[in-house]
């Protein structure tokens, strides 16, 4: 058994935010029927890189789903879609607000006809507010939401976070909202409308930056790898490269100094507590790196680990996915012959195999879906 066994989800979404959400729910056991345009389907099917004719991008967020091609402007396909709505638990879409309403599938209409149906929508700016009809991509909301203002190094041009956190966080928040809606429906018998905006998600994850702004009245800027309130906390240069250190309290800083043989730093009144270390972060960085320069990264890490000092290497993607801890947690899986990221949600009793069902071919599950519709609910 998986937690969402028996739940059916109609997925009208495409590219990333919506498909990421529905992929997570498929991993938790939901049957996800991906409803795609007949003329090519999800745009992401064309995104590279391709392996044996398959888009790795598309496969990574659509594994384990079924595909049905429908033209929602054609009467016969609309009739089939409405039969699916009558059997589904959840509908997910990531069109601009108003797009489904123009097809006659707005929330009020859907709720009146199928009151148990849960409707999940993810869009750039949400279904309310003055910008609700504006188009958005990840880059737009990273910029508007303030994330790019605290990313990168001081005095350098704005930098996008190196992964699509605008889409991914929206997909995560939508999956969380849909799970809550399913739980609520168990008690009320009624579906609800779950509205998630990518911009809202960027505001929600700014945590320390927003707290600092409201506390000080000053908008924080980029600090490179440093933390604005904890020191030492960042990337530090050793003899042959960089490592990460995170000393969240005075005891950890004392342990770090002991490992480095840095009695001078432990005794320095500037570094006696975290506020002092943060106020003198640049001086402390230079002093720590003078000690770290005596050994390569591979020699420092086991010494720091043995002392209980939080530390780690800085991996590229290839090194990260081949790390023994990542492999042991099944965070690299194979689906349809392609390797991709696994599921970070580990639940006791729920299988977590390294082989996953492949992403569907466009309209590849039509016969199975039609046969299911003929079965007695």
Q: How many domains does the chain have?
A: 2
Stated pTM of the model:
0.94
Q: Is 118 in the same domain as 162? A: yes
Asked if 101 and 162 sit in the same domain, the reply is yes
Among 312, 160, 138, 311, smallest CA distance to 222 is for 160
> Which tens digits make up the pLDDT trace of 67-90?
999 999 999 999 999 999 999 999
CB 123 within 8 A of CB 96: yes
Domain boundary among 270, 294, 315: 315
Decide if 199 contacts 126 (C-beta within 8 A).
Answer: yes
Work out the percent of the chain whose per-residue pLDDT is above 70.
100
pLDDT of 376? 72
Quick count: other Cβ atoms within 10 Å of Cβ 160? 16
Catalytic annotation, residues: 227
Q: Which residues, 6 or more positions from 98, have their beta carbon under 8 angstroms from its beta carbon?
A: 133
Rounded Cα gap, residues 368 and 345, in angstroms: 29
**Which residues of the chain are under the pLDDT cut of 70?**
none
- Residue 123 CA to residue 294 CA, distance in Å, equals 51
pLDDT tens-digit profile of 43-55? 999 998 999 889 9
Cis preceding linkage at 324, omega within 30: no
Q: Do 165 and 66 belong together in one domain? A: yes
Q: Does residue 275 belong to any structural domain of this protein? A: yes
Q: Are residues 159 and 279 in the same domain?
A: no
Q: How far apart are CA 200 and CA 122, in angstroms?
A: 11
Kindly provide the b/e burial profile for residues 76-109, where b requires at least 16 CB atoms within 10 angstroms of the residue's own CB: ebbebbeebeebbbbbbbbbbbebbeeeebbbee
Could you say which DSSP state residue 47 is in? P
């Amino acid at each position: 058994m998986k937690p969402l066994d028996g739940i059916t989800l109609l997925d009208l979404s495409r590219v990333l935010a919506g498909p990421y959400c529905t992929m997570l729910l498929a991993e938790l056991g939901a049957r996800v029927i991906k409803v795609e345009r007949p003329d090519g389907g999800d745009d992401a099917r064309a995104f590279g890189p391709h392996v044996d004719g398959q888009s790795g991008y598309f496969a990574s967020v659509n594994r384990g789903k079924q595909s049905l091609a429908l033209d929602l402007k054609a009467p016969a396909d609309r009739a089939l879609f409405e039969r699916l709505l009558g059997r589904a638990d959840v509908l997910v879409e990531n069109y601009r607000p108003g797009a489904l309403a123009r097809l006659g599938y707005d929330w009020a209409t859907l709720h009146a006809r199928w009151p148990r149906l849960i409707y999940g929508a993810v869009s750039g700016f949400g279904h309310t507010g003055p910008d609700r009809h504006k188009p958005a991509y990840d880059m737009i909301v990273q910029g508007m939401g303030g994330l790019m203002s605290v990313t990168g190094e001081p005095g350098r041009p704005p930098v996008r976070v190196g992964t699509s956190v605008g889409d991914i966080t929206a997909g995560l928040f939508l999956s969380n909202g849909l799970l809550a809606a399913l739980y609520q429906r168990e008690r009320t018998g009624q579906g609800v409308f779950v509205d998630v905006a990518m911009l809202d998600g960027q505001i929600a994850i700014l945590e320390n930056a927003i707290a600092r702004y409201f506390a000080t009245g000053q908008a924080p800027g980029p600090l490179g790898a440093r933390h604005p309130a904890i020191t030492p906390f960042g990337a530090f240069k050793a003899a042959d490269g960089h490592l990460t250190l995170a000393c969240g309290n005075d005891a950890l800083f004392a342990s770090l100094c002991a490992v480095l043989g840095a009695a001078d730093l432990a005794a320095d009144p500037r570094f006696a507590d975290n506020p002092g270390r943060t106020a003198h972060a640049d001086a402390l960085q230079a002093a720590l790196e003078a000690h770290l320069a005596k050994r390569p990264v591979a020699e420092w890490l086991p010494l720091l680990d043995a002392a209980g000092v939080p530390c780690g290497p800085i991996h590229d993607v290839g090194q990260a996915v081949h790390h023994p801890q990542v492999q042991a947690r099944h965070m690299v899986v194979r689906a349809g012959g392609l390797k991709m990221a696994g599921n970070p949600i580990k639940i006791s009793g729920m299988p977590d195999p390294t082989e996953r069902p492949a992403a569907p071919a466009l309209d590849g599950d039509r016969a199975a879906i039609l046969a299911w519709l003929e079965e007695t609910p």
